[in-house]
Amino acid sequence: MAESTDHMELHVRVESADENAVDLLQRASALSKQRIKLAMTQGAVWLTRGRNTQRLRRAKRVLRAGDELHLYYDANTLANIPPEPTLIADAGKYSVWNKPYGLRSQGSKWGDHCTVVRWAERHLHPERPGFTVHRLDRAANGLIIVAHTKKMAAALSELFRKREVEKSYRALVAGDFSQHANPLRVTQPIDGKEAISEFSMLELCKHGEQSLLDVRIETGRKHQIRRHLAELGHAVVGDRLYGTGEEDSVDLQLTAYRLAFHCPVSEKRVEYRLS
C-alpha cells in the first residue's frame, strides 16, 4: 500500500473467481468502498485479462482467477469537475461537440471523467460508447468529433490520416502579423516530423498589439499551431506554455471553428462550423 491514500498505484492479482473487485481493492488500498466505486466510475480502475487491459467501471463484473486489477488513484484528479461541452450534431455513429477550455480530448490511466469522450458516453441519448478520433489541446476550445463505434472511429481516423479533413482555427496572437506574407505558409518540422500550417491575417487588434488570424493546418502535430506561432514571435494570447507569460490570466485564444469532410455515414460532404 502507498504511504498516502490520496495518491497511489496498486496492482492486485485475482486468485479466485469468487472474489469481488471492490473488496479486493478496498483491502489492498484501505480506501472506502465508496471511493473505490467512484474511482471505477471515473476511469481509474483497470482490468487485465490475458493480453487485454481495459477500464473496469462495473463493480459487479465477474472476475476470473488470473485476472489482474490496477488502481491508479489520485484524489485531486478524481475531484476535478469537467467543464460542460455543447453538442453541435449527433450523427448516430459519431457526434460533434464544442469543447470548452479545460476539457480534455482523452484521459490517462488516472481517469477519464474530464474528457469529451466520457462526457459524450454519459450524456447522449441513447447512450453509446465513445472513441477518440482526433485531439484538441486541453487549453484550446472548439469543434471535436467523437466516434461511437470502432468501425466509425477507424473510418474517421483514416480521413484525418489521409489529410482529408479540413480544419480551420481562429487565433489571437501577440504583435502585428501584417509584416508577414498573407497567407503565410509554415513548414517547420516539429519533433522531427512534417508539420504544415497556414496563417492568414484577418485584423489588427488592441491598437496594433495583437492580431486575429485564420489558421489552417494540413498536419496535426502536438501543439503545432502554438509552436509555429511562438517560433514566429507571435505566441497565441494566453499561451502559458509557449507564450511570454504576460497574459496568464487569459484562457488560450485558440478556437477550432470549422471541420469539413466526406461523411462516412451519409456519404456526403459535411461542414460543421461555430458562429
Whether residue 245 has pLDDT greater than 90: no
Q: How many domains does the chain have?
A: 3
How confident is the model over 130-185, as pLDDT tens digits? 999 999 999 999 999 999 999 999 999 999 999 999 999 999 999 999 999 999 99
For residue 267, tell me if it sits in a domain.
no
Whether the CA torsion 208, 211, 212, 213 is positive or negative: it is positive
Tell me which residue range forms the domain holding 152: 86-162
CATH code for position 213? 3.30.2350.10
Q: Which of 113, 136, 162 is the last residue of a domain?
A: 162
CATH code for position 110? 3.30.70.580
pLDDT value of residue 249: 73
For residue 29, tell me if it sits in a domain.
yes
Looking at the fold, whether 173 and 249 belong to one and the same domain comes out as yes
Whether residue 2 has pLDDT greater than 60: no
What does the DSSP 8-state code read for residue 84?
Answer: P
Which pLDDT band holds residue 195 (cuts at 50, 70, 90)?
very high
Whether residue 29 has pLDDT greater than 60: yes
| Mean pLDDT, rounded, of the chain | 95
For residue 119, tell me if it sits in a domain.
yes
Q: Which of 162, 188, 222 is the last residue of a domain?
A: 162
Peptide bond into 126 cis (omega under 30): yes
67, 74, 112, 137: the catalytic one is 137
Which pLDDT band holds residue 244 (cuts at 50, 70, 90)?
confident
Looking at the fold, whether 226 and 155 belong to one and the same domain comes out as no
Q: What is the pTM of this model?
A: 0.90
Looking at the fold, whether 94 and 75 belong to one and the same domain comes out as no
137 is catalytic: yes
Whether residue 109 has pLDDT greater than 60: yes
pLDDT value of residue 81: 95
For residue 271, tell me if it sits in a domain.
no
256 Cβ contact partners less than 8 Å away, ≥ 6 residues apart: 136, 140, 141, 142, 143, 144, 167, 168, 169
CATH code for position 75? 3.10.290.10
Looking at the fold, whether 154 and 197 belong to one and the same domain comes out as no
Which pLDDT band holds residue 4 (cuts at 50, 70, 90)?
low
